[in-house]
């Protein structure tokens, strides 16, 4: 068998101009989604060349699930003090909660600066330092690759934030442990969907490509089960649209769902349950977590054709 050889190419031969080539390319839906997958965010509402006083940042967007502002600053060269100052200035001016600095080459001192910022800021702001590379195999077209150099330690930040508010109780510790291990299983499965920051909450959300709905996973330890549902925040018309296609959705998912329109309330949800949760007996955690992932994948695939 003849194998090709991977060769790194100068990114300036791929994107000659930082603003007009790279930023424009990154802002395209497919490419911003690929970056979001690296960050475990679902990036939407992309806006380029946003003014901050007399300066212009490259890209400002939002995380679909949290609504947090995400600032992206591109630098197709080695990191420098000027751009480090810019990202802080832009983040302040735009009240960004997530700051992403994309560079060709990260110097050690700037990687240390981003690490320091993550350690000494609270849970409301996160900093990423990412290198962008491009590779070819034989005569192939260049393929881009994002390499994370520095990122927030979500577990440490979560523990720190909770510690500032008070000690974790046993239930909160169990939830934090579950979601942390759940992220590991998502990673082992090849990240079929983005990981979310582990918290002590009983639920986590997974994006489906719409601000009108999302998939929610809830830990119901008192009931010894886990709920996986399509949560519709405030759109009865969307719920009714789903219900019109109930048979097709359930046939596609291979699952009979429980449908809850919740008349008189804003929210609606369609759910299924996975039995077996018990914080005092964690031997079945890997099995439960894989069942959650399977359920999320099938639910997202079944509902996606009907999401407006």
Q: What is the pLDDT of residues 66-82, one digit of tens each?
A: 788 999 999 999 999 99
Tokens found for residue 302: 């079944």
Percent of the chain at pLDDT > 90 equals 66
Instruction: Provide the whole-model pTM.
Output: 0.65
How would residue 160 be classed by pLDDT, with cut points 50, 70 and 90?
A: low
- Of 276 and 51, which is predicted with more confidence? 276
Q: Is the pLDDT of residue 163 over 60?
A: no
Lowest model confidence (mean pLDDT) among 28-32, 122-126, 173-177: 122-126
Using the predicted structure, report yes or no on whether residue 168 has a pLDDT greater than 80. Answer: no
Domains and CATH numbers, the chain: 6-152 (3.40.1350.10), 156-306 (3.30.1460)
54 pLDDT exceeds 90?
Answer: no
Rounded-to-integer distance, Cα 178 and Cα 198, Å: 8
Exposure class string for 231-245: b at 16+ Cβ within 10 A, else e: bbeebeebbeebeee
- What count of other Cβ atoms lies within 10 Å of the Cβ of residue 28? 11
Residue 155 has pLDDT above 60, yes or no: no
């Amino acid at each position: 068998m003849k194998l090709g050889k991977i060769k790194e190419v100068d990114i300036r031969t791929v994107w000659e101009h930082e603003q007009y080539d790279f930023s424009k390319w990154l802002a395209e839906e497919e490419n911003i989604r690929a970056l979001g997958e690296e960050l475990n965010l679902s990036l939407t509402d992309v806006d380029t060349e946003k003014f901050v006083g007399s300066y212009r940042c490259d890209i400002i967007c939002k995380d679909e699930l949290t609504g947090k502002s995400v600032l992206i600053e591109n630098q197709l060269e080695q990191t420098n003090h000027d751009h480090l100052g810019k990202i802080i200035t832009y983040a302040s001016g735009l009240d960004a909660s997530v700051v992403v600095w994309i560079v060709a080459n990260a110097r050690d001192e700037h990687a240390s600066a981003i690490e320091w910022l993550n350690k000494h800021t609270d849970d409301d702001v996160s900093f990423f330092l990412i290198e962008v590379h491009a590779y070819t195999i034989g005569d192939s077209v260049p393929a881009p690759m994002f390499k994370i150099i520095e990122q927030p330690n979500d577990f440490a930040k979560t523990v720190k934030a909770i510690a500032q508010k008070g000690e974790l109780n046993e239930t909160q510790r169990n939830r934090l442990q579950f979601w942390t291990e759940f992220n590991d299983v998502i990673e082992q499965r090849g990240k079929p969907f983005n990981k979310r920051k582990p918290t002590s909450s009983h639920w986590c959300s997974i994006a489906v490509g719409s601000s009108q709905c999302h998939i929610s996973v809830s830990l119901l330890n008192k009931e010894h089960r886990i709920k996986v549902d399509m949560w519709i925040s405030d759109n009865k018309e969307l719920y009714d649209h789903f219900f019109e296609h109930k048979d097709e959705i359930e046939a596609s998912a291979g699952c009979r769902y429980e449908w809850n329109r919740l008349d008189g309330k804003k929210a609606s949800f369609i759910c299924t349950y996975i039995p077996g949760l018990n914080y005092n007996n964690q031997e079945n955690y890997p099995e439960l977590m894989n069942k959650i992932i399977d359920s999320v994948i099938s639910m997202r695939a079944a509902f996606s054709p009907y999401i407006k």
